[in-house]
Amino acid sequence: MKIILEPWPWYIGGPLIALILFLLLYFGKNFGMSSNLRTLCAICGAGKKISFFDFDWKTQQWNLLVAGGAVIGGWIASTWLSNDLSVLIHPDTIIKLKGLNIQSAGSSYMPKELFSLSALTNPAALICLSLGGFLVGFGARYAGGCTSGHAISGLSNLQLVSLYSVIGFFIGGLLMNHFLLPYLL
Amino acid sequence: MRQFTFLSIGILFGITMFKSEAASWFRIYEMFQFKSFHMYGIIGSALFFGIIIIQLIKRFKLKSAYGELIIIPDKQKSFNRYLIGGVIFGLGWGLSGACPGPLFTLLGAGFSPILIVIFFAMLGTWTYGNLRDKLPH
């Protein structure tokens, strides 16, 4: 039990993701989480004016259930399966983040400076959350997939185009991390 | 029954994302700083087994739980959309620290400001749908 309550090492997390990829294929589906955002737009009625959202969202019900399960899983893991939620990142990274005013680095799961209710009074935090979300949603649909659809499903199926996307993910991520984030935080 | 199956797979996914810390903003930040092997280990080992699983499925023409041949469609061939879309996604990933899977996981874990990220991710998706015909693909 103690091992479960500790953070899981990469060699547990990675193979479990491959297992999830297999389970979805075995039940006749493909692993890809960002499609749910399109489905949610369709449920909200976006299909009335935009053809991209004009499809029978009920065919995507299975994926919404996976997303709903992910919500429940997050609740189970944080409530019942964790002793200490702090993420022990590299000491250099902790120092770097403290220099960027992220004081919660090394002592929490998410930066309190962005993901706590009190942070919502800070305009910079609101910009990070909203702009970050917008780019994730826009980019995932433009690229036709996110980390699960391209980096896991696509690359596992040796799709060259998924490699283009994953290279793009890292170009964008590195640009943000090294050049833009220091000004946004 | 099928609904229960997909919900259960999702629960396993959510627990995995949270416990492996792939859902943590800090792990994504650290990954882009190249300071830890952790995230590369997760993605790399998932890919290692993923490639083997898909090769085995194709080689042995494995059938699904419903007796149908498992077909994994090839992705549409193109370059621009994958690279440009990928860069835009990466900018958002580096900023919010969350890709779409962890968005749902973090909501369940009680980090309520993630609702703002989810709302704007939907708005971004909607904007793409609106501009799709005008964008290079």
Looking at chain B, the number of H-run helices and the number of E-run strands are 6, 0
Q: Which residues of A touch B61 (CB under 8 A)?
A: none
Give the whole-angstrom CA distance, residue B93 versus residue B101. 12
- Give per-residue pLDDT as tens, A4-33: 999 999 999 999 999 999 999 999 999 999
What tokens were used for B72?
């994994």
- Of all residues in chain B, the one with the smallest CA distance to A124 is B95
Chain B interface, best mutation among A92, A135, A158, by max B CB count within 10 A: A135
User: What pLDDT is attached to residue A73?
Assistant: 98
User: What pLDDT is attached to residue A2?
Assistant: 83
User: What pLDDT is attached to residue A164?
Assistant: 97
Question: Residue B19: in which H helix or E strand, if any?
Answer: helix B2-19
User: What pLDDT is attached to residue B31?
Assistant: 98
Contact A23, B57 (CB under 8 A): no
Cβ contact A164–B84 (<8 Å): no
**Spacing of C-alpha B65 from chain mean position:** 23
Shortest distance, CA A40 to any CA of chain B (angstroms) = 7
* Residue showing tokens 């939907």: B122
Query: Which segments in chain B show pLDDT lower than 50?
Result: none
User: What pLDDT is attached to residue B96?
Assistant: 97
Shortest distance, CA B61 to any CA of chain A (angstroms) = 12
Between residues 124 and 143 of chain A, which touch chain B (CB distance below 8 Å)?
A: 125-126, 128-143
Shortest distance, CA A57 to any CA of chain B (angstroms) = 15
Question: Which residues touch A41 (CB under 8 Å, ≥6 apart)?
Answer: A53, B122, B125, B126, B129
User: What pLDDT is attached to residue A41?
Assistant: 97
HEC string of B33-78 equals CCCCCHHHHHHHHHHHHHHHHHHHHHHCCCECCCCCECCCCCCCCC
Query: Which segments in chain A show pLDDT lower than 50?
Result: none
In three-state secondary structure terms, A55 is coil
Complex ipTM more than 0.90, yes or no:
yes
User: What pLDDT is attached to residue B11?
Assistant: 98
User: What pLDDT is attached to residue B32?
Assistant: 98
Looking at the DSSP bridge assignments, the partners of residue B63 are: B69
User: What pLDDT is attached to residue A141?
Assistant: 97
Give the whole-angstrom CA distance, residue A17 versus residue A166. 17
Between residues 55 and 74 of chain B, which touch chain A (CB distance below 8 Å)?
A: 57, 62, 64-66, 68, 70, 72-74
